[in-house]
Amino acid sequence: MSKTHIKNVHARRVWNTQGHPTVEVEITLRYGAVGRAVAPIRALTHLPADEKAPAPDNFDLIAMIDHINGEVRSLLKGVRVDEQQEIDRRLLDLKDTDFFWHVGENILIAVSMAVQKAAAACEKLPLWQYLGTLQGESEANTLPLPEVPIFSRGPYFSRKVDVQDFMVIAVGASSYAEALEWTADVFRAARNIKRDSGLPIDNTLAGDERSAFENNEDVLETLTRAIEESGHRPGEDIAISLDVAASNFGFNGHYNMISNPELNSDHLSGMIIDWLARFPIVSITDPLGDDDQIGMVRFTWAVSKRTQVVGDQFFMPRSELIEHAAKDGACNAVQINPARSSTLSQCKALFNAAQVANFGSIIAAGANQTEHEMIMHLGVGWGVKQIKTAKFTQSGGTCVGNEGVRIAESIALSVGGSLPADGNLPPKSAFPWG
């Protein structure tokens, strides 16, 4: 056996940032190289990753750990770690066994990620460089532009607000470090607005979603004000991005919003287009439901020249749907979220399909209460132009953001200082708002 062969697969019980147990998978190679990855909590519970999602109980975790240490270990032991697609194919073949009755397919993303990290460790390279330089996926010399939630729908917030995430993008930033700095400015300004309004501030949230926003427009107005009070120009320095997640309140082209019940597809599109006219919004994710293909085509046709229209749940996450959407004119960008996939090969297939369709791409760390700095490595190594992180108040968000700072410095060193150590960003012309 060579140094690239898998010697052991081991799963253990660990904890996420919400105090819930989850599973970490560790891949060990013949001569000691190791890769580890933690399963996103949503993958384990099969429920939205919010504050109401119950923690998996010990019995569930024990079953998961036993099956990984049994079936998966037997399946991968002795396999070359650099054969990622073959390994992922073997993992997906488990769908035909009793494995998924006990575990569920999304737990496999932790195995797949651990394999990729072990492959990079085997070559003594950071993952971004292994994917970019060694595997030839990209030049690996730019950082993805951050997209960070400031306000997100929670158990109380959702009583009056429908949109899932209200985010900011530092569209005018000249470097990755500057983009993070400007985003932090808005985060602090949002907290100050809440404090000055006499409302309680929850230290775990950006602006305390539990303190009764009246409707979607109220949040948009507050966020625009926060951009202004942070000292930046709305729409020029910092813009707004929304994850509407319309499938959460819509079915078959009919939408039941909290403040606007019984909307049809055209009415919802018209409302969002009105927001685009009134607020500095440059990107919309899932503005319509994943079963509303005609509505998504119409919406994209109306706004795509100036706005990024992102499919996330809309593609769920099947790469062949991107080809169909491109032909129909639905969306112009794809969100790639490993927590929604079974393997990294599935994520890469989504990215490849987006490239062929000339769509933009966003790799999403999400708010799954697990720290995955690996998401930033995938973004740099694959050449993804945007990254959606968790909030600054969640360690998963700061973990990913800070890893970008480290990678930026490493990139500058690897090219002899010809690139800035604070992080080279994709050109503005790469985005619809450019």
Residue 291 DSSP one-character state:
T
CA dist list (Å): 340 to 49, 89, 188, 287:
12, 17, 31, 19
- What per-residue confidence (pLDDT) applies to 207? 42
Do 79 and 223 sit in the same domain of this protein? no
pLDDT of residue 56: 46
1 inside domain: no
Cβ neighbours, 10 Å, residue 128: 27
Start-to-end Cα distance in the chain: 51
Residue 20's CATH number? 3.30.390.10
Number of domains observed in the structure of the chain: 2
235/342 same-domain check: yes
Answer yes or no: do 259 and 229 share one domain: yes
CA distance 370 to 25: 13
Q: What is the pLDDT of residue 211?
A: 52
Q: If you ran DSSP here, which 8-state letter would residue 134 be given?
A: I
The domain boundary, picked from 71, 91, 124, lies at 124
Q: What is the CATH number of the domain that holds 323?
A: 3.20.20.120
Q: List 234's β-bridge partners, or say none.
A: 238
311, with CB counted inside 10 A (0-12, 13-18, 19+), is buried
* pTM, full prediction: 0.91
Residues 161, 12 share a domain = no
Give a yes or no: residue 131 inside a domain.
no
- Cβ neighbors of 419 (< 8 A, separation 6 or more) are 141, 411, 412
| Strands, E assignment, 179-255 | 239-243, 250-251, 254-255
Enclosing domain of residue 162: 145-430
Clarify whether residues 172 and 113 are in a common domain. Answer: no
Residue 9's identity, in one-letter code, is: V
Measured from the Cβ of residue 200, the count of other Cβ atoms closer than 10 Å reads 9
- Secondary structure element (H or E) that encloses residue 398, with its range: helix 395-414
Q: Which helix (H) or strand (E) holds 263?
A: strand 263-264
Amino acid 129: pLDDT? 96
User: Within a domain: residue 341?
Assistant: yes
- Are residues 264 and 150 part of one domain? yes
pLDDT tens digit at each of 434 positions of the chain: 689 999 999 999 998 877 778 899 999 999 999 999 998 865 555 444 444 444 444 546 888 888 899 989 999 999 999 999 999 999 988 876 666 655 555 678 999 999 999 999 999 999 999 999 888 889 999 999 999 999 887 654 546 889 999 999 999 999 999 999 999 999 999 989 977 876 555 543 444 444 568 889 999 999 999 999 999 999 999 999 999 999 999 999 999 998 788 899 999 999 999 999 999 999 999 999 999 999 999 999 999 999 999 999 998 778 889 999 999 999 999 999 888 888 999 999 999 999 999 999 999 986 555 667 899 999 999 999 999 998 887 777 888 999 999 999 999 998 887 888 999 999 999 999 98
Please state, in angstroms and as integers, the Cα–Cα distance from residue 274 to each residue in 59, 167, 270, following that order: 49, 18, 6
Q: What percent of the residues of the chain are helix, what percent strand, and what percent coil, each to the nearest 5? A: 45, 15, 40
C-alpha gyration radius of the chain: 21
